[in-house]
A and B are shown apart, each in its own frame.
Chain A
Amino acid sequence: MINTKYFLKGFKSIKGVGSPAIALGASFVAIGALLKNLGFSIQESIFSTFLTYALPGSLVMAESMLIGASLINIFIAVWLVNARLYPMTVALMPLLMHENQPRWKYYLSCHFIAVSSWLIMKDNYENIEKENRIDFWIGIGTATWSVAIFSTIIGYVASDFLNKDMLIGLAIVNPIYFICMMIGAMKTIQISLSVVLGAILGPIFYFLSPEWCILFGGFIAGSIAYYAGERNGN
């Protein structure tokens, strides 16, 4: 059903110098501590990372609960902040599609799409034959997802020992990891321009709308990068 060789190959991506484990771990430790302070039980905290597995979404959920937002407002706020997962999925899944593979693998494993797993897959897919990519991806996803769940538990249990300064230190790890990974991915005109323009336009659009700045800024930056790349041979 799932080719173990490729699954394990993907699973092992959490080892080594490119490992996302530290970044993922740091941010989900912080989430675990945050959820505990919000009044979640340990089961609820685990359940939350298990089912959502997208950091900005969990943060928005926590913020919305603090201000007592309604369920529909929480849904919209989380959807907005996680809508970036749509272009990410469309930019990944066609690389993994193969007629010999069952559909359910794609619909289940899309749950593993998060920034770190996505960047690792984008970095490695060319080394794997197309038919086996989905199993390799499920390996990466299972590994990163497990790290996230495990770290949530650690953060929940350790929350009393984490002071404010340590939480601030934990909060910077994930952005640093992502910035390094994105700079490493800048190999074509289109990707380089997308990253640079997105990083400029996203914060600029924040002044117009904090909720929509990521989507608006990203859409315009990505479209400009696409056209510029198409005219100059990608």
Chain B
Amino acid sequence: MATNIFIVIIVTSLATYLSRFLGVVSSEKIKETSKIFRWFNCLAYSTLAALIARIVIFPSGSLSEVDYLTRLIVVFLSLTIFYLTKKNLVYPTLFSAIILSIISSYL
């Protein structure tokens, strides 16, 4: 396996760069005032939202070791802090990490 790591990294990065590269190729012909641009704008935000919702609801890796309800409560509390601190992003993110570590060490 050890000798393959290098190739795996290259394959992963090519698979990732492909979408970025094709995106620039398509962008050459798309005007920012066009309808197709607005459509892609919607698609970008919706796929991002789908990705993040999936990570929170059906996580893989370490997050899956915390139960569903705990994750939702932490998300809800962090959002409350986000609004209470007038949309500061530092406090809710720090809070979420600390509170979830504490909760998971007691469960």
Contacts and interface: CB of A to CB of B under 8 A. Distances in A.
Interface residues of B, number: 80
Contacts, number: 324
A155 interface: no
Label chain B's interface by main secondary structure.
helix
Contact of B46 (A168, A174, A185, A197): A197
Contacts of B22: 86, 89
Nearest to A210: B58
Interface residues of A, number: 107
A167 to B, nearest CB: 5
Contact of B98 (A92, A107, A169): A169
A54 to B, nearest CB: 5
A92 B89 CA distance: 23
B27 to A, nearest CB: 3
Interface of A: 17-20, 22-23, 26, 30, 34, 39-41, 44, 47-48, 51-54, 56-61, 63, 65, 71, 74-76, 78-79, 82-95, 97, 106-107, 110-111, 113, 115, 118, 164-185, 190-191, 193-203, 205-206, 210, 213-215, 217-219, 221-223, 225-226, 229-230, 234
